[in-house]
Amino acid sequence: MAGDAGVVRLVSALKRDARYELVLFQRVADEDMARPGGAMAVIERLETRLRPLSKPVEAPVSDVVPGQPDVVIDFSMSQVAFDIATQARFGMWRLSSYAADAGWAEMSRGAPFVKVMLSRVGRDGEDSFLAAGSYDTKPLVSMTKAYLREKSVQLVLRELARCDVDGQGPRFEMVPGHASVSVAGYLGAVAGEAAGRVVRKVRSRMGRAPRQFRLRYGRGGLDDFDPASAIEVTPERGTFAADPFLFQWQGATYCFYEEYDYSRGLGHLSVARVDEAGWHPLGEVMRRDIHLSFPFVFEQDGEVYMIPETCAAKRVEVWRATDFPLGWELHTTALEGQAASDVVLAKHGGETWMFANLSSDSFGDFCSDLHVFRVDGPALKSVEPHPMNPVVIDSATARNAGRVHVGDGRLVRMSQDNTGGVYGYGLNVMEITELTLEAYSERRLRHVTPEQIPGVIGCHHADFADGWFVVDVRHP
């Protein structure tokens, strides 16, 4: 396991963080580790030959400081680990993603996501539940398992941070039962997914853009907007439109959005004006040699700013309007070297907070982790990460789907649900119930899914201004 991507990621993070010391790193013999057997083992070997995974890298364990552990993290699922964990204050922790059959039960029944559990494990067989996160599945179980393992170590890091913050660690609950596995069911699900990919490729070659996003707008607010009855905007030929943001300025309502150009394979930013007479395109806002999307536009102290998604540049960029709505200049940058997606700012409790979806894994995933930072405002000279980052670990709710709305005594975050088997499946209205540098919590107020919107397979972004709402929907 020393070369496992999840283990490497966890050890690297622990060594970078001054709160922790690595006091023991013990390798377990291959014969003692939990591994899939029978048909599952054969299938996984065949898959990794057809679709090789990233090459393993050794965990950086040269600076281990001998001592008594507070927590033992076991990736081997072996009995050997119990001999080490007897004196650990917070016991031995295991991730279900490291079980031999991780991902198999869900994929064998065609489930679009896997729930990973972090548990405290007792030698007597009494396991206690610590935390959980949901992750979307990949086309093959071998890919899904590798993805789950690399991503889910974030659960360990967050719960270790909780131990550091309160000195008590996470609360313990009983672990849910184990689901059954059907190899035949898995093979059928893989065949169905492969057939769907072939159909989409054929449609694309026929000139029909598959799974295209389009904008819809109408009258409504956070509590009553109805994407099914909204007016749909037909995109320009060879493009799709997504990630819309409404902004009211000097008596008019504007919509900034991503316009994806199929011929370039990149998105640029455009703007339209919205009124009772309809939708009025005004032109391009920004076009570069990298993909641009998610144009979060906001005002502060009389200035208009925009934070577009520039994760390809591996930094957060803040732009200032010089000739609104089409003229902009670079104002500042932050998080240099970090791929950050869907960044928004919001004021709460006398502070300014930045919400971002970060990716540092080999899968380039932005959908399962939400990170929060306390910042000084649009200058971003001070960027302080929340100690519990990522504050949300869940493909069903983590990724931002618009701005954070402040008003009427509520702090409401729009988020994506990416557990429906397709990117951009659903939309959540999340109320943030606690936001301090010590804690973060939220609850879902509303869940919009394509079952509520005839003729679409997804709805993944929404914004509101001046009695208007705008969403994007995804077509088959």
What count of other Cβ atoms lies within 10 Å of the Cβ of residue 399?
A: 27
pLDDT computed for residue 190 by the predictor: 65
- Contact between residue 133 and residue 154 where contact means Cβ atoms under 8 Å apart: yes
- Please determine, for residue 199, whether its predicted confidence score (pLDDT) is greater than 80: no
- Please determine, for residue 22, whether its predicted confidence score (pLDDT) is greater than 70: yes
Q: Do residues 149 and 218 share a domain?
A: no
pLDDT computed for residue 170 by the predictor: 57
According to DSSP, the residues that pair with 222 across neighbouring strands are none
Of 40-44, 257-261, 300-304, 429-433, the least confident: 40-44
CATH of the domain at 48: 3.40.50
Q: Do residues 278 and 253 share a domain?
A: yes
Domain C-terminal end among 202, 226, 259: 202
How far from 295 is each of 171, 203, 356, CA to CA, in Å?
39, 30, 13
Distance from the first to the final alpha carbon of the chain: 41
Of 37-51, 361-375, 412-426, 429-443, the least confident: 37-51
Q: Which residue has the higher pLDDT, 286 or 50?
A: 286
- Please determine, for residue 2, whether its predicted confidence score (pLDDT) is greater than 60: no
- Please determine, for residue 370, whether its predicted confidence score (pLDDT) is greater than 70: yes
* pLDDT band of 64, cuts 50, 70, 90: confident
Q: Do residues 253 and 144 share a domain?
A: no
pLDDT computed for residue 174 by the predictor: 53
Residue 62 located in a structural domain: yes
- Contact between residue 279 and residue 231 where contact means Cβ atoms under 8 Å apart: yes
Q: Do residues 244 and 110 share a domain?
A: no
Question: φ, ψ for residue 372 (rounded to 5)?
Answer: -125, 140
- Contact between residue 285 and residue 326 where contact means Cβ atoms under 8 Å apart: yes
Q: What percent of the chain has pLDDT over 90?
A: 67
Q: Do residues 22 and 93 share a domain?
A: yes
Q: Do residues 306 and 368 share a domain?
A: yes
Q: Do residues 110 and 234 share a domain?
A: no
Q: What percent of the chain has pLDDT over 70?
A: 87
Strands 128-136 and 173-174: antiparallel
How far from 466 is each of 111, 241, 249, 414, 462, CA to CA, in Å?
40, 22, 10, 17, 14
Q: Do residues 422 and 442 share a domain?
A: yes
**Could you give the CA distance from residue 276 to residue 219 in angstroms, rounded to a whole number?**
10
Q: What's the whole-number mean pLDDT along residues 246-271? A: 98
- Please determine, for residue 359, whether its predicted confidence score (pLDDT) is greater than 80: yes
* pLDDT band of 128, cuts 50, 70, 90: confident
In this structure, the chain runs to a length of 476
Of 110-119, 167-176, 252-261, the least confident: 167-176
Tokens of 34: 């939990």
Q: Do residues 56 and 101 share a domain?
A: yes
Rg (CA), the chain: 23
The overall longest dimension of the chain from CA atoms, in Å, is 73
- Report the chain's mean pLDDT, rounded to a whole number: 90
Q: Do residues 45 and 167 share a domain?
A: yes
Residue 207 located in a structural domain: no
pLDDT computed for residue 125 by the predictor: 59
Of 108-112, 124-128, 177-181, 460-464, the least confident: 177-181
DSSP helix/strand/coil, 373: strand
Going by C-alpha positions, the residue among 331, 334, 393 that lies closest to residue 154 is: 393
pLDDT computed for residue 80 by the predictor: 81
Q: Do residues 217 and 168 share a domain?
A: no
Q: What is the DSSP letter of 88?
A: -
CATH of the domain at 296: 2.115.10.20
Residue 11 located in a structural domain: yes
Tokens of 335: 């998080």
Q: What's the whole-number mean pLDDT along residues 91-118? A: 91
Of 14-18, 50-54, 183-187, 361-365, the least confident: 183-187
Domain C-terminal end among 157, 182, 202: 202
**Per-residue pLDDT tens over the stretch 282-294:** 999 999 999 999 9
Q: What's the whole-number mean pLDDT along residues 203-208? A: 52
Strands 369-375 and 383-385: antiparallel
* pLDDT band of 172, cuts 50, 70, 90: low
Residue 10 located in a structural domain: yes
According to DSSP, the residues that pair with 251 across neighbouring strands are none
- Contact between residue 2 and residue 61 where contact means Cβ atoms under 8 Å apart: yes
pLDDT computed for residue 219 by the predictor: 98
Tokens of 415: 């988020």
Of 13-17, 31-35, 363-367, 413-417, the least confident: 31-35
Residue 177 located in a structural domain: yes
Domain count, the chain: 2
Domain of 351, in residue numbers: 212-474
Q: Do residues 27 and 160 share a domain?
A: yes
- Please determine, for residue 200, whether its predicted confidence score (pLDDT) is greater than 60: no
Domain C-terminal end among 202, 236, 268: 202
**Could you give the CA distance from residue 164 to residue 351 in angstroms, rounded to a whole number?**
24
